[in-house]
Amino acid sequence: INKTPLGSTIITCAAIDDITAWCLLAVVIAIAKAGSVGSSLFVILLAIVYIIFMFKVVRPFLKRIAEFQTSKHIINKSSVGIFFIVLFLSAYAADVIGIHALFGAFLAGVIMPPNVNFRNLFTERLEDVALILLLPMFFVYTGLRTEIGLINEPYMWGICGIIILLAVVGKTMGSAIAARFVGYNWKDSLTIGALMDTRGLIQLVVLNIGLDLGILTPEVFAMMVVMALATTFLTSPLLTLIEKVFKKKNAGVN
């Protein structure tokens, strides 16, 4: 699917979805930490100034470094060090402002130079450490914080089931209806909906932040993690079901 136009559409939708989620998350964190409307507006204003500074000042600076480095087809240790410093300072600034440090790290990634060659070189430097060490550690961390035993009553499992149902129907059918509205056929629309229903890393990041801020209780956190896992596991069966239904439909028409 990834090599088809439909796959490109789904990846683009997922990217926009993640960016929107990060922006909404920053606003929610600002309001939760500020404690009052006036304070939250001040935090949001500081966040806007911070974002403008990152795009207008820091990004051009990094772009010049990238252009110099990619002309050699290498990234030396000094340049890697500069980019890591930008990453840490951005995360620290976001935390000081009152939004989560993860938002600062995310923004540091967004403002990285658009040069494809540079991004490939920089990704090669980071990919092994991120995928082999950091990503598994994050999942272990999330797993250790998930206390499934807290969902110990039938009514709590009922609530968990309702959360899963709303998540599946809301994301799958919402995306499918939107895709159908812009001209996709029902098969492609439902495929888009099924793949958009997959809860990725961002979901777990948001849940962990919600737990840290006290917005989510440990019980709700556990339910939401179960929902994230269930909706992700449902993706493959949903795609198989969609394929079978439309295959039979086309066979009947023929």
Q: What pLDDT is attached to residue 110?
A: 86
Tell me how far apart the alpha carbons of residues 83 and 85 are, in angstroms, rounded to a whole number: 5
Among 16-20, 30-34, 142-146, 216-220, name the one with the lowest average pLDDT: 30-34
Residue 64 is predicted with a pLDDT of 84
What confidence score (pLDDT) does residue 162 get?
95
In this model, does residue 166 exceed pLDDT 90? yes
Q: Is the pLDDT of residue 126 over 90?
A: no
